[in-house]
Amino acid sequence: MNSDIAKQAVFNYLQEDAISVNSIVGKGIVNKIYVVRTANHKVVIRMNDDPSSFREYEKERWCILKAIYKGIPSPEVLTIGKIGNIAYMIQTHIEGVNGVDATLDKTYIWRKLGMYAKSIHTIEVKGFGEVLFDAEKKIFQAPTHDNFDGTWTSFVNYNITSLTKDDDLIWLGVLDYETSKQVKRRFQGLIDYDFNFGLNHGDLSLKNTVVNKNNEVYLLDWGSSEVNIAPHWDVIQLMQVNILNTNTNEFEAFLDGYGISQHDFKSMEYVLNTLLLLRAFDKLRWAIDCKPQSITYFTNYAKLILHRVL
């Protein structure tokens, strides 16, 4: 992926030659991101050569349209397409600074993100998972595999039935069998819990914001969005960030923006911690099956969360 492809994609859409192409470094982990200027326009183009990227961009476009309708400031998606095996998405450029680099109090941004999350969770969706299966019917799905039929209940049951005497997590030193039985009981308690499901952004963070000169906070990057339990799934994502970075003020600002009082959070904390552990174990099992180079990272993280929960 290089700037020539970015130039070609922008020309195909705008019918204008690029005057300048500047790579945005350090703000995109999955996508290659450029700011492209023409005589009359300034746009952002995100590119990725993963085979699933075009479908991901379709999902992002759908989510952004729904977010804008809810009043959440967001860059407009101008077009998506492919050049060869590279998928791209062209968006309007928002003049401002990335939330990480903004000089205003970061709790202001986090409070806004809490407000946005509450609105996002009211977007009408159906199903469960990270794949936008049918945009018109608002149906999301999860990829299925052995012992998982793509539903929330099956997701929890998969993680319950994986807790055996021969579990890889025991071999990796995450836990012993007696502790495994305690974890299993906690996971079993999730099955009958009356959760609400909604659209979750999945990566609420300072790096996924732009703050303009009027201190409006724009929300970016819906690549991790999914239908899951709400508000729990977005909240545990931020709990994870808080655990790793220990910035309590920012997490509390998010809860305040969402409208979750400290009393409400305390009443949710047992379930949230159980979900945090469920997610940590599931990510480790994914690494074992799909990304061996990440096993050490997810093993250490699972140990950290298990210590917190038990």
Q: Where in the chain is the domain with CATH 3.30.200.20?
A: 3-93
Q: What is the pLDDT of residues 146-197, one digit of tens each?
A: 778 999 999 999 999 999 999 999 999 999 999 999 999 999 999 989 999 9
List the one residue out of 117, 109, 133 whose CA is nearest residue 67. Answer: 117
Which H or E run contains 227? strand 226-229
Domain 3-93 has CATH 3.30.200.20: yes
List the one residue out of 103, 297, 271, 117 whose CA is nearest residue 194. Answer: 271
Q: Where in the chain is the domain with CATH 3.90.1200.10?
A: 98-309
Q: What is the pLDDT of residues 231-255, one digit of tens each?
A: 999 999 999 887 776 667 899 999 9
Q: What is the CATH number of domain 98-309?
A: 3.90.1200.10
Count CA within 13 A, CB hemisphere, residue 213. Answer: 1
Residues 199 and 118: their CA atoms lie apart, in Å, by 10
Q: Is 0.85 surpassed by the pTM of this model?
A: yes
Residue 80 neighbours by CB under 8 Å, 6+ apart: 54, 57, 58, 61, 87, 88, 89, 90
Q: What is the pLDDT of residues 256-268, one digit of tens each?
A: 999 999 999 999 9
